[in-house]
Amino acid sequence: MVELSFYALSIVAAGMLITLFRKYSRKKVLLFMIVASIVWISYLAILSQSGVLKNFELPPRVPLLIVFPAIAIILVTVNKKFMSRSLHETPIHLPILLQSFRVLVELLIYATYLKGIFPQRATFEGLNFDILVGISAIFMGFATYKGRIKQKGILTWNIASMCVLLLTVYSFISTFYFTDFANSERASKFVEFPYLLLASVLLPIAIFLHVFSIKQVTTKNIQP
């Protein structure tokens, strides 16, 4: 059930973005997102099958081969000219409201911990407070929609939320690469499907929504 939930939540999260760009962008952007997703999943499948990610010695493979490349792709994509229409036409509250999917992500992480695969340190019982971002996204999204939150408030929330996300990433990296957990059989599960989707799909989507939102409110012609 937990394994199926990773696939289901990843499909739902990706579907959110596809629906968003289908309505508020040109077909060119939607096509780019679909092609990029296919290439990315193919890349992940090759990495997973190669076994290179199962080496938990330094330097950490998952951040170097998955997280950092995903961030680079996101930064380049959001700053591309063909994204300008999406940035201008997408309602500012939507990228914020969509971050509420992180509540489900955190519940899934906790369920995976109960199954004995993820460490407690990486849940909301440890160093992972990302569930608070997911909950706050609901209130922030509606407040922004009502015009009660202005540009500085949105920027502050995005930056604070990214700091919380950074702490979450640290909780995973520090556990899998700097403790005895890395030598356990459970560690290898983290870099296999479907658990690999956490670092390679769900995390990048959360980062993308933050970068997209920040870009929106810092663009001259866009005001909340």
Q: Which of 114-123, 129-138, 215-224 has the lowest mean pLDDT?
A: 215-224
pLDDT digits (tens, 9 = 90+) for 87-99: 888 899 999 999 9
pLDDT digits (tens, 9 = 90+) for 13-48: 988 888 877 766 666 777 778 888 899 999 999 998
Print the SS3 string covering 87-147. Answer: HHHCCCHHHHHHCCHHHHHHHHHHHHHHCCCCCHHHCCCCCCCHHHHHHHHHHHHHHHHCC
Percent pLDDT > 70 in the chain is 95
Please state the domain extents for the chain.
2-218
Q: In this model, does residue 71 exceed pLDDT 50?
A: yes
Please work out, in degrees rounded to the nearest 5, the angle formed at the alpha carbon of residue 175 by the alpha carbons of 170 and 179: 135
Residue 222's pLDDT is what? 46
